[in-house]
Amino acid sequence: MTPSKRAAREPRRPYHHGNLRRALLDQALATIRADGVDGLTLREIGARLGVSRTALYRHFADKRALLTAVATEGFRTLRQQLVTAWEQGGRGDAAFYSMGVAYVRFAVANPAHYRVMFGGFVDPQAQDPELATEAEGAFQALVDALATLQKDGAFHSDETVLMARYVWALVHGVAMLGIDGQLRDQGGVEELMRYAFERLRTGIRTSTA
């Protein structure tokens, strides 16, 4: 009846879909956010977009390829948030902590999306070049920040990539514990992050040991 409804049920629109690939990706993301990765079915995605359930295969080779694209987008977003935190935080020690918080916050705010990125749904090896590029880009944001802090003499001058892997493993671990609900007590994630970064800087061994 209403004009908006008319557009929604318009039966004689030929096919096409503006940008179907983009719409499929967005719908996949929304479904994953709502129902988790297991709740994602290609048929439902098509149905929600008013498109045949095989239309998707014009844009993605298979379900795995769709998930790879979802993961790629996740790494792109993550890198942006890391870079923003670093730059807006002043590119110093405080900004380094902000990056860690931004990382964990992304994971906790988008747990299902984060699992697609790291849950073994996409080929571990970076078979997909775009995925590899974005994943390396996110990691590089951390490497760059650490290199700056090393140049300023704030951090030890160990091999930067090794140090970056160490920090990455830490925030990745905190994020996973947060997602798994193992830090369920109120403010558990934030408390652990504060503690982790303080001890990350100073170590857990006593000076007398």
Partner DNA sequence: ACCTGAACACCGTTCAAGT
List interacting residues with its own copies (CB under 8 A).
36, 93, 111, 115, 118-120, 124-125, 153-156, 158, 162-163, 165-174, 176-177, 179-184, 191-192, 195-196, 199-206, 208-209
24's CB contacts (< 8 A; 6+ apart) are 45, 49, 56, 59, 60, 66
Rounded-to-integer distance, Cα 27 and Cα 33, Å: 10
Rounded-to-integer distance, Cα 16 and Cα 26, Å: 17
One of 22, 34, 36, 53 touching DNA (CB under 7 A):
53
Rounded-to-integer distance, Cα 99 and Cα 141, Å: 9
Which is nearer to its own copies, 49 or 200 (by Cβ)?
Answer: 200
Q: From 54-62, 70-78, 82-90, 98-106, give the range in contact with DNA by CB under 7 A.
A: 54-62
Q: From 42-50, 79-87, 89-97, 139-147, give the range in contact with DNA by CB under 7 A.
A: 42-50
Rounded-to-integer distance, Cα 110 and Cα 179, Å: 9
Binding residues (CB under 7 A) for DNA: these are: 14-17, 20, 40-44, 46, 51-55, 57-59, 62-64
